[in-house]
A and B are shown apart, each in its own frame.
Chain A
Amino acid sequence: MRSDHGQIAPLGLKIAASFGLLFLHAPILLIFVYAFTTEEKSYQWPPPGLTAQWFAVTWNRPDVWEALSLSVRVAAISTAVALVLGTLCAAAVSRSKFFGRETISLLVILPIALPGIITGIALRSAFALTDIPFSFWTIVLGHATFCVVVVYNNAVARFRRTSGSMIEASMDLGADGVQTFRYVVLPNIATALLAGGMLAFALSFDEVIVTTFTAGQQQTLPIWMLEELIRPRQRPVTNVVAMVVVLVTLLPILFAYYLTRDGDQIAGSGK
């Protein structure tokens, strides 16, 4: 919506919008306070005292490290797979109009459009029918599937902005297909792919619903947290982990935003 002259918003609207934003952000900020509380047994507010000792305790917890390491490995491999599949798909779809193009766009978006529990139980059913045992790779299989769409959205937006005559110009100047890809196409989509990759990583790193259906005894960091949420046993450690997770996911999002800030936005529908 555009109004030509800078206008002052009505007070009521300002208050309502501020409360909305406060509602969105205050709970996350609260996490930072709780990471320093001295209270171990309950969620008491205000905290009876502040301490940094839980950071050291968390640092020395092997189960947290194991869960973190599994999450990072799963996210890295899923992101790599999603980057390849998403870019190929985006390139094909924006390169030419072909029969079934709409269907392919739908196919890519479907895993994120349907509730996570459906993707989860569908994969679970398929593993059950085909007798595939749960493993690291069943987790990756699920994560890569819903990460494709994030890379795809970013790449498609960039391809749309890249003029087709640039590829022709490159070929006209003597570059063959491989050279054109390397010197023109890749540099032009690189930041979009980086942004897509970051978001895919963040998405996978945080995913819990599909993972509960595709992981056996393996514990990713979100699964570890989920256990704590349902049966709290070590509240201070959970507080610290929660704060670290907020910070770790914040960075790739900000960086992805920075990479794509002019023109294509990081698609909210990507999550």
Chain B
Amino acid sequence: MTPAVSFQKVSRHFGAVKAVDTVDLDIAPGEFFAMLGPSGSGKTTCLRLIAGFEQPTAGLIAIFGERAEGVPPYRRNVNTVFQDYALFPHLNILDNVAYGLMVKGIGKAERHKAAEEALSLVRLPGYGERRPSQLSGGQRQRVALARALVNRPKVLLLDEPLGALDLKLRENMQDELKSLQKVLGITFVFVTHDQGEALSMADHVAVFNDGRIMQVGTPRDIYERPRTRFVADFVGSSNVLPPDFVQRYSGQRRWGSLRPEAIRVVKSTRDDGLSARLVSANYLGATTRLALDADGLRLHAVVPAGTSLPEEGEALVLTFNRDQLHLMDEPA
């Protein structure tokens, strides 16, 4: 099947800065794809390359099999939801949503009808007469979504669309976006620096660092089987284990990762475990997060609330199932 978006050795350099550096990427049609990474990692530049705001310095970009380098944004059947929403302040909500249809020359009655339907889709029916300045942040974001969707794009790009919303609203919008995507079947490409958001919403996640893709996979892959120390560290706060340590348990001298919830804490002294000291314990409701010091190695563990714990500074013993220890590709 032709990928919805395909990058072949794509680079975008700004002078000496390699914002995007030889990236290969395939996004399948109809999937919810997340680009995850810290700021400055190149994820937003990748999004802008798909939208057409940036042109690659090298490499090939195809959208549904059609070459896109050198094609201006207005000739791509791709729409964007901007981080700051970028609603037009001089137009009311209905005309904002109908803008894409207006510039395509669709008549007033027809485009207003379509815009009204799109507003219903994002649960803002009847808001058409208002001005952008009269809406809340969450409502503006829905208008931005409707304005993009009304054009029936082949790919919808979302640039940190939830970044400006407060926590509660963000969680609601996550569910809504996910179900919208399922219903419409449009390919969504979503840029975020929030790993929880990426893991919970996406079908596939690409983790970016320094203009390169570190790993692409399902959220489960990324979380449980990180390939590099960066991914293990950035996604899900896994414990990164040095090669010497890993060798003792697996026999291979490789970097390893161990998820915090895989560690069990035993209070009494036993010789088959790993002895450590409790540095601090943070109560998180359903679980308690422990910071541990195992002979100079800092580890984190998550235990169910109610587990009986020693005092801070006291010695304890850690155990974990050996097959929970994940060996990373990164060489020692």
B103 touches A172 (CB 8 A): no
Query: Using a CB-CB cutoff of 8 Å, which residues 69-89 of chain B contact chain A?
Result: 72-74, 78-80, 82-84, 86-89
A168 pairs with B82, CB closer than 8 A: yes
Min C-beta distance of B70 to chain A, whole Å? 15
List the count of A-B residue pairs having beta carbons below 8 Å apart: 65
Task: Check A172 against B79 for contact (C-beta < 8 Å).
Answer: yes
> Please, which residues of chain B bring their CB within 8 A of the CB of A171?
52-53, 72-74
Report the count of interface residues on A (CB-CB < 8 A): 17
The answer, yes or no, to whether A187 is at the interface (CB within 8 Å) is: yes
Contact, CB under 8 Å: A172 / B84 = no
**Does A229 belong to the interface (CB within 8 Å)?**
no
- What count of chain B residues pass the 8 Å CB interface test? 25
Contact check, A169 vs B72: say whether CB atoms are below 8 A apart.
no
**Cβ 8 A contact of A163, one of B84, B90, B104:** B84
- Which of A163, A165, A173 has the most C-beta atoms of chain B within 10 angstroms of its own C-beta? A173
Q: Which one of A101-109, A135-143, A176-184, A195-203 is at the B interface? A: A176-184
B91-106 CB mask vs A (1 if < 8 Å, else 0) is 0000000011011100
A174 in contact with B151 (CB, 8 Å): yes
**Chain A residues closer than 8 Å to B73, beta-carbon distance:** 168, 171-172
Residue of A nearest to B99 (CB): A173
Q: Is the CB of B72 within 8 A of A173?
A: no
A residues less than 8 Å from B19 (CB atoms): none
Q: Annotate A156-196 by CB proximity to B: 1 below 8 A, 0 otherwise.
A: 00000001011011111111100100011001100000000
Known contacts A165-B84, A166-B88, A170-B99: A176-B79 contact under CB 8 Å: no
> What are the nearest 3 A-B pairs in CB distance?
A173-B100, A169-B86, A165-B86
Query: Which B residues fall within an 8 A CB radius of A?
Result: 51-53, 72-74, 78-80, 82-84, 86-90, 99-100, 102-104, 147-148, 151
Sample of 8 more A-B contacts, CB < 8 Å, known A168-B86, A170-B99: A169-B80, A171-B73, A172-B52, A172-B53, A173-B151, A175-B103, A187-B90, A188-B90
